[in-house]
Structure 1
Amino acid sequence: MNTIAVIGAGPQLGRAIGQRFAAEGFNVALVARDRTRLEAVADRIAAEGTRVEVFPADVTDRPGLQAALAAAAEQLGPIDVLEYSPAPTPSDLTAAPIVDAAHVTVDALLPHLDTYLLGGVAAVNQVLPGMLERGSGTILVTSGAGSGPIIVPQVANVQIATAGMRNWILNLNAALSGTGVYAAHVAIAAYIGQGGPASEPEAIAEAYWRLHGERAEAELFYDDLPAGFQGLADKFQDS
């Protein structure tokens, strides 16, 4: 049986991705900081009838994150799909405030590099060797669309970090050509669960299943913002 690991698994998109893959027979490993919240998400996914386990870890604790993924592989089998979508909480944004492009400092940038780029590198480093050895695997990395397709100067320190993550995954997609391992970036321009039908977590999760199955695109730009809307910087969604 195949296994998907969802890192940053919250009650909306992470839960929906887990459910979508579980519906196809995947075991599901959920990784995030809060065990209680993870267990609530796991209870919803378990209704699909597959095995779901939780592995609490903080993406900024890179050895801890890698240990969680190693434990997931030991309990559920090799990780066939890695989905990485960390999302800040209000307390995170209090500790590491958002700043605009004219006020970026090294100190303002470092926490977000830890969360997005360095955490993503650590997660991929943990699963990629096994995928390459098996000649199969999928890596899907998620950020807001300000990582590249949309310019959001109000949240520049976050977008510098997510842009670095996006660039790396696009290059990884090219580097893995012919290996049987597929990597793609998903840039989401939507208020998850707060817009029209296309903004519902289940609709977005369907796009992840399509990416995994078709393995054709280096990047999916998922756009469900109102026409002309310029307020993307105003909202952050738990994945």
Structure 2
Amino acid sequence: MSTIAIIGAGPQLGRAIGRRFAAEGFDVALIARTRTTLEAVAEDLSGAGTRVGVFPADITDRSALLAALTAAEERLGPIDVLEYSPAPAPADLRRAPLVEATEVTVDSVLDQMDLYLLGGIAAVRHVLPGMLERGTGTVLVSSGAGSGPLIVPQVANVQIATAGMRNWILNLHAALSGTGVYAAHVAIAAYIGQGGHDSQPETIADAYWRLHTGRTEAELVVQDLPDDYLERGLADKFTES
């Protein structure tokens, strides 16, 4: 039995990804801050007979995140697929507010790197050695499309952090060639669940499955934004997955 760990697992995309991979026989480890949210998603997934584990952790607490991944491995076995798409809570945005390009400071970028980039590095570094040893595995990392494909100057400090993560994953994709381990970045330019067909969680989850099975693309861009998204102040953030 294979296992997927979903970091940032929430009621929309995380639930849909869990369902999609569970339908293919995967066990599912759910990791996010809020136990009640995780338990609601787990209840939905376990109804299909899938083994589901709930492992609460805050990605900004690296030791807690690594402990959650270790607990998931002990309960469900080696992690074959890591899906990383954390979403900021309102408290995060108060602590690390969004900043326009002309107002970027060192501290404003460091706050966002702590929120987005460093947890991703810690999570991938935890699972990657085992994947390389086994000669198989998938790492899928998501961010808002301002990480590269789109320019949204209203949230430049976030984009600096997510662009770093995107660049790392694209380089990781190249570095892993021939190892049996696959890494890809997903850039989400959509209000998940609020637009057309392409923005629906189930549609995006299908695309994740195609990435995992196809194992060729370095990046997938999910684009379904209204024409006035800049005027609406698109926050380049990980939509709660």
Number of the residue aligned with 1:143: 143
Over 3 Å counting, the alpha-carbon distance change for 1:231 and 1:138 in structure 2 is: farther
Summarize the Cα distance change of 1:31–1:231 in structure 2 as closer, same or farther, 3 Å threshold: farther
Matched-pair identity in %: 72
- Displacement of 1:48 in angstroms is 2.3
Q: Using the alignment, how far apart are the partners of 1:231 and 1:218 within structure 2?
A: 30
CA positional deviation for 1:47: 2.1
Q: CA deviation at 1:229?
A: 4.1
Rounded Cα–Cα distance in structure 1 between residues aligned with 2:195 and 2:89: 20
- What is residue 111 of structure 1 aligned with on the other side? 111
**Which amino acid in the other structure matches residue 89 of structure 2?**
T
Specify whether residues 212 and 37 from structure 1 end up closer, same or farther in structure 2 by C-alpha distance, changes over 3 A only: same
Within 2, Cα distance between the matches of 1:136 and 1:48? 26
Task: Note closer, same or farther for the CA distance 1:232–1:204 as it changes in structure 2 (3 Å cut).
Answer: farther
Change (3 A) 1:51 1:232: farther
Aligned to 2:168: 168
Following the alignment from structure 1 to structure 2, what is the Cα–Cα distance between the partners of residues 232 and 211? Answer: 31
Q: Extract unaligned runs of 5+ from structure 2.
A: none
Q: 8 Å contact 1:152–1:232 — kept in the other structure?
A: no
Within 2, Cα distance between the matches of 1:33 and 1:183?
25
For residue 75 of structure 2, what is the amino acid of its counterpart?
Q
**What's the CA shift for 1:36?**
1.1
Given that 2:189 and 2:224 are in contact with CA atoms closer than 8 Å, whether structure 1 keeps it comes out as: yes
4+ residue runs of structure 1 moved beyond 6 angstroms?
A: none
Residue of structure 1 equivalent to 2:60: 60
1:231 Cα offset (Å): 4.3
- Aligned 8 A contact 2:132 2:180 in 1: yes
- CA 1:172/1:233 → structure 2, altered by over 3 Å: closer, same or farther? farther
Does the C-alpha gap of structure 1 residues 138 and 66 become closer, same or farther in structure 2, counting only changes over 3 Å? same
- The amino acid that maps onto 2:21 is F
CA shift at 1:105, angstroms? 1.0
- Other-structure match for 1:226: 226
TM-score where L is the length of structure 2 = 0.96
Q: What is the aligned partner in structure 2 of residue 238 from structure 1?
A: 240
Structure 1 gaps of 5+ residues are none
Question: C-alpha distance in 2, partners of 1:222/1:198?
Answer: 7
Question: Aligned-pair distance for 1:5?
Answer: 0.1
Shift in CA distance, 232/210, structure 1 to aligned 2, threshold 3 Å = farther
- Residues matched between the structures, number: 239
> Is the counterpart of residue 31 in structure 1 residue 25 in structure 2?
no
Change (3 A) 1:79 1:196: same
Partner of 1:195, secondary structure, is: coil
